[in-house]
Each structure stands twice: as C-alpha cells, then as structure tokens.
Amino acid sequence: MKHERVAAALLEAGGLKLSEDVPFILASRKIGPVYVDVRQLTATPSGWSDTVDELAAVVAATGNFEAVSGGELADLFFSIPVALRLGKPHLAIRKTVKGYGAGATGRLVGRIETGGRAVHVSDLITSGTSALDWVDTVRGGGGLVEHYVAVFDRGQGGGEALRERGVQLHSLLELNSDFLKLASARGFLPEKGLESIQRYLQDSDGWARDYLRRRPEFLTARIEAGNGRLIRPEGLEVLTRGYPELIPELGEVVRKKLRELKLDEGLLKPPGD
C-alpha cells in the first residue's frame, strides 16, 4: 500500500485503538468503535521523521505557496516540522480568540500577505468541522487555502466538506480496507475487530444509531460524568450535535437524567436552536 512505512509506524506506536462495547467519542461528537491517534507517532522519532518527510513531499507537490498552516494542538506536531523541512513560514491557528497575537481574528499566529497561498497540514480529518474552521481562519487573515494535507483521513465526509469550499484534500493514509488488512496482518487487529470496523465503515451513522438505541445508558453515564465540569456534558453533545435525529426517541431518557442531576432540560437542544 502507499505510504506503508507511515502506516506501519502508526500501528507500532499504538495509534489504532478498538472498543466496540464502549465506543469512542470523536471531536465531531460522533461515536465509533475505532479511534486513530496520529499523535502517537511523535513517540517514535524514526516514524515521526518518516511521516514528516512524506507530508513535506505531498505539500511541495501542490505547487507554489508561501506558508504552511496548522491548527492547535495536534496539527502543530506535523505542520511546524513540515514548514521547517520546506523552508517556509508557519501559521499557527488557535482554537479560541485571544486578546493578543497576529491576524485579523486574533487566532492566527504568524504573518501572510493578502492573497498569499498557504497549505494546511493536519494530523487527522473526520467530518471536516475543524478543517473548515482552520481554512476559514487563514482566509480571514488574508491568505488563500486551496490544499489541505492530512496524515490520516477517516473517510467520514471531511474531503467532501473541503471540496465544497474549493479545497482539495490529500492524505497519506485512510481508514480503508488496505490499512485494516495491514493492521490485521501485523497482529494489531483481531479478526473480530476487523469485522466490526468493516461494518462500521459501511454505515458509520447507522452503526452509531443502532448502538445508542440499544445502549442509551452510554449517554446518561457520560452526562453524569460531566456534571459540574462541562457546560454541555459530552454525553449530551453526542445526542444534540452528533445524532440530533435521535432526540425524539431518546430524549425522555436524557431528560430524566438531567432532572436527576438538577441540570437545565433546555440543554437538550441542538446547538443554535
């Protein structure tokens, strides 16, 4: 497979994790039985260096550009060394606005001329929510972004979301049959785990909806765990952000937990409603 050395390094570093009984909650607040932690590559200098080399080659092949950008935090483990390898300025993008720092939004650390081209380098892309935010921030600071380079693409809509904004996605690795076969062949994925992930990849939202219908306590346990620490506990956000279509079915179970914890039942609304 293409970029097999990077794939092998990621597997050796423990970057592939499987948990079907208690699925992972992703940044998009979707859930799934597989989690890819690209940051683990930084624990193995040779694998990290190989990954940076491969990323730099892909970035260089995109054409003329003036800077490399990366978002806080995980992107920076790869975007900064890529910028150094290519001798280009680096733009760091903060998650939130600060009262200091360069750029029109206060989130962009670095400088780019109006109309200057930046290539964004990322650790991982899933649905594209964060990716679009990074792209919009660079564009808001006057830069142009037409290419987005990720170490890993989970294949859950990120590429399509970027394409709609005029940005082309390039990735070294994808959560596909080639990667899974390599993981299985090298002993990092048992046969049962391989079958589970393949079912999930066929219809990730369908897999998640079926799981939540069978195990609504997954939501309530995480609402309880987040009580007092988060404005919107992540268990609540799985329902309101990840799968709002399930609110009519699972809403009463969640409302009961909110009442028990003396939390506002009004939280059971998709953000923006």
Kindly list the domain boundaries of the chain, sorted by start residue: 48-172, 216-267
> What's the pLDDT score for residue 94?
94
- Cut 0.85: pTM above it: yes
Q: Which residues contact 24 (CB under 8 A, 6 or more apart)?
A: 17, 31, 32, 33, 34, 35
Please determine, for residue 102, whether its predicted confidence score (pLDDT) is greater than 50.
Answer: no
Contacts within 8 Å (CB) and 24+ apart, 93-101: 93/69, 93/134, 93/137, 93/138, 95/71
Fold of 48-172: Rossmann fold (3.40.50)
Single-letter amino acid code for the residue at 54: E
Residues 180-207 pLDDT 10s: 999 999 999 998 888 889 999 999 999 9
